[in-house]
A and B are shown apart, each in its own frame.
Chain A
Amino acid sequence: MKRPLPLIVGILSGLVVLAAMFFIPQGGGILTMVLNWVIIVAAAALLVAIASMVITHLRFIASGKKGFLLSLVLVISFLATLVFGLLRGVDDPVFLKWVGAIIRPIETALLGLVALVMMSAAMKIFRERGWSALTVSFGVSAIVFLILGLGFLQNLNIPELNEVIRVVEALPMIGARGLLIGIGIGLLMMAFRVLFGMEGSGND
């Protein structure tokens, strides 16, 4: 059972934006206004999400739930950043450097772990999935592009080999193009479903 009001709002918004896109520059003002609404609502949703996160972790701390120390660290960090930002401003170089000095190594380390996990997964994929077309093609392509990434073959400066390398490096474009076409068709179908009330927030 779908509620009619959200359904009607969704359909009308989609039709208005679509019409505004077709009738430029007359519809440009409407399009800009609707997009600004979207940005404001998204910012408000972000604030709600932040508040929800803080309240949730405060509950964890109050109830002494397992891992509440991490929640305590999160809340303290959030409050310190908030207070520091309110006092010094978001453009203050000291504040920006202080925040960057914390966030940058943490996220970089996490990305390094992702590299290790992917390496382990590449090693285990044959043991777990066995020999199949998918795993074999994955292994062969990974080996080929890892060798190409090392740059040894390119440094040989062999014209024929360079031509082969160029062809091989262009192969991913085929897959990427198919991927993009698939994404476009999927988005189109989703847009039609929203416009015709078959998809969206109208569901109970």
Chain B
Amino acid sequence: MTEDHSELNLCPNCGKENLPMATRCVHCGSEIESLFTIFGQSQAPDEEAEDSLPDIIEEIRNDPSLQIPAEPEPSQEVQQEDQTDEAALPADQLPDWLAKVRERAQVEEDAIGDLVSGTIAMDAARSEEGSAGVEGEFNAWINRIREKTQQDASARVRQIPSELEEPDQVPEWLQRIRALRPRPEEEITHEVKTPAPYADDLPLEWTDEALQELRRKALAEDHELETEIHPSASLDDQEQELPAEPEAELPGEPVQDEVETPEEDFHNIPNDEEEYHVPVPDEDLGHLKEVDQETVPEQIPEQEPEIVETEALELWLEPNPEESAEDLAQPETQPTAEFGAEEPPAEPETKETPEQDEVQEAILEEESELPIREPAEEPDESDQPGDSAAVPPNLLLLRDQQDRASLLASLIEQEGRVTAHKKPTRKPSGRAGRLVVALMLLVGLIISILIGPVSIPADTSKSLPAMALSEQIQSLTKDDKVLIVLDYQAATSRELEALAAPVLAQLHAQDAQLAFVTSQPSGLFLAQSLLEQAGLPENTQVEYLPGSYLNLIGWAVTPAISATGDDLVTVKNLGYFKLVLMVSDSSDNIRGWLEQIAPWISSLKFAAVTTQMEATVLLPYFDSGQLVGYAAGSADGNIGSQTSFNYRAYRVGLLLMLVMLLLGMISKGEEDAIRKEEEGAE
């Protein structure tokens, strides 16, 4: 068994031979990585393989294997080196055939032939074209990767503000606002004793009130700083007056000279806000003028107001070792500096170029869109420092900066927070209103009931059908047979019994023979109450008539014949009756009697006692004479004395219903008016 050592692999660690299929060295145990390595591919772990895209691009860019050779054709030196390498082999080690080929090639000029040389030249040309195409595609790919990388980087930069909103990190705008406030270690003068509204001197949320408080603090502190350093100015204030418009008459040169000395490019506006870097218009300073007019005349010297302000500006802009570094980054200090620096003394603000007009108009429009400006601009006089005669220029900066900070804070607050959706205006359900209405109704009814029953006045006029019914009853004589049909439910028994009981009492008083039938099972026990109210004997028989009026059709069509005619109901003959009085709460049943029974017996008269709700349907039958009369409602029941019917409660109920109906109309009208008003407002 022999081993081919030419196929053995050498261990990179110990250098000893291993079999080709071995993955680890049999001698030292180290991993033989060369077996699985691919030339040109990085052997970094996965974590390194997941490098960022720019790194990969950079690697590709710097990879010499992917570099485009500067000289596509091999140089002569390289060819010579190759030749020297080949020639370096000793001639005795070359095979015979190779030696013969070399000898022939040295003798013959074109050893490979014209055809082969042309083919080789064509392949070379094609390879150049192909390499150029591959190179172009590669460059395009690289460009796409670069663009994507730039987009990712820009997106990452955009996400930074949201990360800065973490509680432990301070956003840039907040740092700027904090820089406005002189810290205790930075203060030259004593600290103004103002109650700290917040535990850490900084609110968690920059509301309008917080910014206003901050500005007041800055006002007070700045003014104290000013008065401490310039006592002479305060002494002169008592003797001199401030001109009416100090800003308009503010000479620019002294300020310019002194302002430009500390910092030529002094401004605290960020680079990305250069577009907002415009001079403060005169209108914007109107409120300061008002303040000056109110407080300055007794404190500001009249002769040298510009000097005072210049000194104030100088002090404000004096490079403080700690504060200046932050103030330099503050926005809106430049406008005032430039306000004094850019305007020559010969050209006050009244002279404005068209460009300045446009800028001022733009600023005015911008300011009009800021909702927080109006309440925050003018602090209360009590909050103002008493000796704020010369309004320091930094006040302008503070106010303008406050607006910007407030706007920025509101924007950041809206971005960072989950926007609380506007709660939909809940439409009032009206349950309370309905409850009040129901209670009012119940209270009214209960009170009217508790007061006591009141009968209908005797002079109350009756309806025409009721008067006809009364006449029919009065026309009955002794022993006239009357069939009383009880066809009502317990729910309407109170109303119907109140109407029917007087009629029955009158019939009984006239000695009419009464026969009672009921088409409702409940009529058996309801009749007892009715008979009791009418004063009829308790043993009065009430027959149950199944099938209602359909059962009586046979009585009318094929009446039974009675020998005496006194059997009445038992004989089942309607021809004996002179009047049929229907006490019913259903107009349909009354209509059935009139349409199914009446045509068969022409001599039979029909009358009815019904509810007021059903009476309307009976009007045509009364008008046509099919009904000789009917009684319906409380007024028609005023035939006799009624003790069970509370007329007062009835009228109170009607009155309440009338009120409810009017309330419904009024509420609807009010709703329409409100909606129209809202539509008009929109």
Contact = CB atoms under 8 A, between A and B. Distances in A.
Interface in B312-340: none
Contacts of B494: 108
Contact of A28 (B463, B558, B667, B668): B558
Contacts of A6: none
Interface string B635-676: 100000000000000010111111011111101100110000
A3 interface: no
Nearest to B489: A107
A136 to B, nearest CB: 9
A154 B490 contact: no
A185 interface: no
Interface string A128-158: 0011000000010011001101110011000
B499 to A, nearest CB: 15
Q: Which of B538, B547, B635, B661 has the most CB of A within 10 A?
A: B661
Chain B binding surface SS class: helix
Nearest to B437: A123
B550 A155 contact: no
A151 B635 contact: yes
Interface in A30-60: 31-32, 35-36, 38-39, 42-43
Interface stretch (B76-84, B212-220, B398-406, B617-625): B617-625
Contact of A38 (B461, B464, B538, B550): B550
Q: Which of A29, A39, A175 has the most CB of B within 10 A?
A: A39
B553 A108 contact: no
B291 interface: no
Contact of A39 (B491, B546, B660): B546
Interface in B551-607: 551, 553-554, 557-558, 591, 600
A87 interface: no
A127 B664 contact: yes
Interface stretch (A70-78, A95-103, A193-201): A95-103
A100 B668 contact: no
Contacts of B538: 93
Interface string A84-99: 0000001101011101
Interface in B397-421: none
A63 interface: no
A111 B585 CA distance: 13
Given A93-B538, A122-B657, A100 B490 contact: yes
Q: Which of A122, A169, A175 has the most CB of B within 10 A?
A: A122
Given A39-B547, A123-B661, A127-B664, A25 B528 contact: no
Contacts of B370: none
A110 interface: yes
A28 B662 CA distance: 57
Contacts of B464: 166
B474 interface: no
Contact of A119 (B441, B553, B620): B441
B522 A103 contact: yes
Given A108-B491, A111-B491, A150-B651, A39 B661 contact: no
Q: Which of B528, B633, B654 has the most CB of A within 10 A?
A: B654
B372 interface: no
A12 B346 CA distance: 121
B42 interface: no
Contacts of A24: 557, 600
A116 interface: yes
Interface residues of A, number: 60
A180 interface: yes
Contact of B525 (A96, A155, A177): A96
B658 to A, nearest CB: 4
Q: Which of B441, B491, B538, B616 has the most CB of A within 10 A?
A: B491
Interface in B490-516: 490-494
A35 B547 contact: yes
Contact of A124 (B438, B461, B623, B664): B664
A5 interface: no
A146 B652 CA distance: 11
Contact of A177 (B526, B550, B620, B660): B620
A107 B491 contact: yes
B623 A173 contact: yes
Interface string A170-196: 101101110110000000000000000
A116 B441 contact: yes
Contacts of B663: 123
B524 interface: yes
B554 A90 contact: no
A29 B620 contact: no
A11 B228 CA distance: 118
A18 B38 CA distance: 109
A115 interface: yes
Contacts of A120: 434, 437, 660
18 contacts: A24-B600, A32-B553, A35-B547, A35-B554, A38-B550, A95-B525, A116-B441, A119-B660, A122-B657, A122-B661, A124-B664, A126-B668, A127-B668, A131-B672, A139-B665, A142-B661, A149-B633, A150-B651
Given A42-B546, A143-B661, 5 more contacts: A29-B558, A104-B529, A124-B664, A150-B658, A169-B463
Instruction: Report, nearest first, the 5 A-B pairs whose CB atoms are least far apart.
Output: A96-B525, A39-B547, A107-B491, A123-B664, A32-B554
